[in-house]
Amino acid sequence: MSVIQLQIPAHADFIDVVRLCLHGIASKMRFSYEDIEDMKVAISEACNNAVIYNHKEAKSNTIAICFEIVDTGLSIKIKDNGPGFNYALSLAEALPLQDTEVANLRSGGLGIYLMQALMDKVEVITNGGTEVIMTKYITDGNTIAGME
- The beta strands (E) that lie in the chain are given as 2-9, 62-70, 73-80, 121-126, 130-137
Q: Does residue 85 touch other proteins according to CB under 8 A?
A: no
Q: Does residue 21 touch other proteins according to CB under 8 A?
A: no
- Cα 23 from Cα 133, distance rounded (Å): 18
Q: Does residue 99 touch other proteins according to CB under 8 A?
A: yes
The interface region with other proteins, picked from 14-22, 66-74, 78-86, 132-140 by CB under 8 A, is 14-22
The single residue among 1, 60, 71, 102 that binds other proteins, judged by CB under 8 A, is 102
The interface region with other proteins, picked from 61-69, 73-81, 99-107, 123-131 by CB under 8 A, is 99-107
- Cα 43 from Cα 10, distance rounded (Å): 14
Q: Which residue's CB is nearer to other proteins, number 48 or number 142?
A: 48
Strand 62-70 with 121-126, pairing: unpaired
Strand 2-9 with 62-70, pairing: antiparallel
Q: Which residue's CB is nearer to other proteins, number 52 or number 70?
A: 52
The order of strands in the sheet holding 73-80 is: 2-9, 62-70, 73-80, 130-137, 121-126
Q: Does residue 97 touch other proteins according to CB under 8 A?
A: yes
The interface region with other proteins, picked from 59-67, 77-85, 107-115, 133-141 by CB under 8 A, is 107-115
Sign of CA dihedral 26, 27, 32, 35: positive
Q: Which residues bind other proteins (CB under 8 A)?
A: 12-13, 15-16, 19, 37, 40-41, 44-45, 48, 51-52, 96-99, 102-103, 105-108, 110-111, 113-114, 117-118
